[in-house]
Amino acid sequence: MVVATSSPVPHPGPAERPAGMALPALALLLAAGLLPTQASPLARSFQLDYEHNCFRKDGAPFRYISGSIHYARVPRPAWRDRLLKMYMSGLSTVQVYVPWNYHETLPGVYDFTGNRDVEAFLDLTAELGLLVILRPGPYICAEWEMGGLPAWLLWKPDIILRTSDPVYLAAVDSWLHVLLPKIKPRLYHQGGNIISVQVENEYGSYYACDSGYLRHLLGSFRALLGSEVLLFTTDSTRAEELRCGTLQGLYATVDFGPGSNVTEAFGAQRRVEPKGPLVNSEYYTGWLDYWGEAHASTSAAWVARGLEDMLQMGASINMYMFHGGTNFAYWSGADYKDQYKPVTTSYDYDAPLSEAGDPTEKLFAIRTVISKFQPLPVGPMPPATPKYAYGWVALRKYADLLDVLDVLCPSGPIQSQFPLTFESLKQVHGFVVYHTQLPWDVPDPATLDAPPHSICDRGYVMLQKEYQGTLERDGQTPLHITGRAGDTLDILVENMGRISFGANTSDFKGLLGNLSLNSRPLSNWLIYPLAIDTAVQQGWPHAALPKSSSEGQVGPAFYTGTFETPGIAWDTFVKFPGWSKGLLWINGFNLGRYWTCRGPQQTLFVPGSVLHAGRPNNITVLELEGAPPAPLLLFLDRPLYNRTLGCSTTATE
């Protein structure tokens, strides 16, 4: 067993115990008992050993078994529970992304408080005896809004992201000078528990292939973290991606899932790193979900088999994800694969620990495999967190969205001849209302449409405050309207999440082109950037006077209600029977988007830490298309992930 006697960090787990079979060099070293019983305090190190194709921790051969967890997707009160379950699964290490946009919310404005306290999260990993592989980006992908890059970078519309563009590099360097000094004292050789740091992320999959950019990052990381820390890259096993994603001075690792031929996949790593440890930095335990597609799942047996094959080769492995969590609020990203594909609110990922942090069959299958190679920690696996089905809760309509613009946009509208993007308005997330009037009589149905891919991402259209339908980013069906000169036309545009992977262009939001009526452009717009979350966090609309609102249930509107817990605040899941699409807040906390009629996700996870015990819980729903005649929510004790429904469902289902 390796113990750094003077270290403030607990030992990250028991020594490796190899299986009794023919093993490569690392496994043979481990089997031969070449681990010193004690490392001197001065010998605290984590290094590459190219001669024996392994890592060396404090001078002894070392192989990690790791799992990914994202602190931004897990409520802070649950961090300890999730990390302890990972430790008890036999993991020595956790892999952690740092999303730049989660911390630098506006240029030069930083937030490291509450759920964003990355230092507290890292300190907790150390307290629990886990090592850390840190992935600070600046780009992280992660199916996270804009891959972790801040949307305010797009305030300079000609910026070229993830390249040597001086404007981009200046923002990156400014951020790294804030983040990396927080990381340096937590590096392993400094007495901390961070054994390695990834530079960028899967850069080989990006079109730019700018080695000067990677060289710049390498220089910045070395200048801020020192020369001793192990820096690495991760890419797929494709030769072209490994060519563009790797750089001398950064150890090249690969990622692949359980369907891959392990020998071939590591062969790809060997072509760029002929010597050194075999590393799979993202071994996929499951996959993400897109709105409108089936819930992804990967069999436990398949995942376990691939894991065992890699461990037999002496490889170091990180399982992505070990615990996925939730894309609360507006943090889910989108892929671009021939079309825009937004990611669901749930990031369950079919991972070994479920969205709510519960051990699954897959976790126990993985734990069994790990036990063949090393002793497991002594003690029971912590149980699933308690859930409660709070049942039906009745809501009432509070107001149509267009009737509360004074609250949601207190500074008033911006006038512009033609539409402006979210980025031009400095609006990062959420919604913007574009308001104009019909310039002429339209007695016969006229086509309201926009250039292809210019409504980013969904536009809810109201004529004289009457909902007409929705325009979508891809393959949109045009709307036909009639009206008189002077009639009001409003389009509420929703940002569904900026592209995090798959497209080579910056993902601007809002109306990117002119709306036209029978091909005649509309102009003279009043534009309202909405600050809905600010209002809801300040107690609106529960603390506001009741509004007199139209009785109709169609179109964008707010609904409110309350419920009490029976003296306990346990995790729960909320279902939206007969609702269409929108967002949910409980006690001012934005739990994310629901999209009942698109699916597959039918419930939103509500952490018990959001709820009050012994006093009312305030519910606010923004429904965008249409609520059921009796607006009810149903609180369950289990999730529903895999039902893609039509919009004709009713609350009586």
CA proximity to 534, closest of 456, 590, 466, 477:
590
DSSP line for 64-128: -EEEEE-GGGS-GGGHHHHHHHHHHTT-SEEEEE--HHHHEEETTEE--SGGG-HHHHHHHHHHT
pLDDT of res. 477: 77
DSSP class of residue 429 equals S
Residues 68 and 158 reside in one and the same domain: yes
pLDDT of res. 604: 98
pLDDT of res. 194: 98
Residues 591 and 455 reside in one and the same domain: no
pLDDT of res. 17: 32
Q: Which of 16, 202, 241, 623 is catalytic?
A: 202
**Which of 530, 552, 570 is where one domain is finished?**
530
Residues 141 and 273 reside in one and the same domain: yes
pLDDT of res. 647: 54
Residues 492 and 581 reside in one and the same domain: no
Inside any domain, residue 124: yes
Residues 177 and 325 reside in one and the same domain: yes
Inside any domain, residue 58: yes
pLDDT of res. 545: 84
CA proximity to 316, closest of 230, 421, 222, 208:
230
Q: Which of 143, 145, 241, 282 is catalytic?
A: 282
Rg of the chain taking only CA atoms, in angstroms: 26
CATH number of the domain where residue 466 is located: 2.60.120.260
SS3 string, 209-259, reads CCHHHHHHHHHHHHHHHCCCCEEEEEECCCHHHHHHHCCCCCEEEEECCCC
Residues 59 and 105 reside in one and the same domain: yes
Residues 539 and 506 reside in one and the same domain: no
- Backbone φ, ψ for residue 458 (5° rounding): -140, 135
- Quote the domain boundaries for residue 242: 46-372
Residues 148 and 198 reside in one and the same domain: yes
**Which of 467, 498, 530 is where one domain is finished?**
530
Inside any domain, residue 621: yes
Amino acid letter at 348? D
pLDDT of res. 23: 38
Inside any domain, residue 378: no
pLDDT of res. 645: 53
DSSP class of residue 301 equals H
CATH number of the domain where residue 182 is located: 3.20.20.80
Inside any domain, residue 300: yes
Q: Hey, what are 356's tokens?
A: 């709510």
282 catalytic, yes or no?
yes
> What b/e string do you get for 168-204 counting C-beta neighbours within 10 Å, with b at 16 or more?
bbebbbebbeebbeebeebbbbebbbbbbbbbbbbbb
Alpha-carbon distance of 360 to 349, in angstroms, equals 12
pLDDT of res. 5: 29
- Backbone φ, ψ for residue 523 (5° rounding): -140, -175
Asked whether the beta carbons of 104 and 118 are under 8 A apart, the reply is no
Inside any domain, residue 2: no
Residues 514 and 551 reside in one and the same domain: no
pLDDT of res. 653: 34
Inside any domain, residue 29: no
Taking 50 as the pLDDT cut, the residues of the chain under it are 1-25, 27-41, 648-653
**Which of 507, 530, 553 is where one domain is finished?**
530
pLDDT of res. 27: 47
pLDDT of res. 584: 99
* Residue 382 CB burial class (10 angstroms; 0-12, 13-18, ≥19): middle
Domain count of the fold of the chain: 3
Residues 213 and 73 reside in one and the same domain: yes
pLDDT of res. 337: 87
SS3 of residue 559 by DSSP:
strand
Residues 491 and 556 reside in one and the same domain: no
pLDDT of res. 549: 66
Inside any domain, residue 565: yes
pLDDT of res. 502: 85
pLDDT of res. 19: 34
Asked whether the beta carbons of 446 and 482 are under 8 A apart, the reply is yes
Alpha-carbon distance of 175 to 172, in angstroms, equals 5
Residues 242 and 209 reside in one and the same domain: yes
